[in-house]
Amino acid sequence: MPSAPRLNLSGATRARQDDAPAAREGKGSAAPAAPEHAREFEAMALRMLREVVGKAENVGDRFAEEARRIHYNEAPARSIRGVTTPEDARALVDEGIDVMALPSACVPKESLQ
């Protein structure tokens, strides 16, 4: 019966220790962004996304149709949001209409307060 034998990782530990002086001297790759900066950026991006989504009119399943009407000046220009198929979204882009897909978790089911 196969089993997982003991793994000898002492060589990997030595390699990390050899890289440590270079990291302290500022050599090698850049350090990853500090976690607090990542959290601040994430919070700012989420606030901006909520603002954009909150100001957009929800047109539901009529998104592709309404986007075309706005693009061809048949309806007043405004921010809209809704649902469409990937094929319709590609067709809109091919027509020169800017669209942006959002994860469904970012889109509220009800109007924002």
Closest CA to 51 of 59, 62, 43: 43
pTM attached to this predicted model: 0.56
Residue 45: pLDDT above 60? Answer: yes
Across the range 37-59, mean pLDDT stands at: 88
Please provide the average confidence, as pLDDT, over all residues in the chain.
Answer: 77
Residues 60-83 pLDDT 10s: 999 999 999 999 999 999 999 999
Across the range 47-71, mean pLDDT stands at: 91
Q: CA–CA separation, 69 vs 75, rounded Å? A: 5
* 71 within 8 A of 95, measured Cβ to Cβ: yes
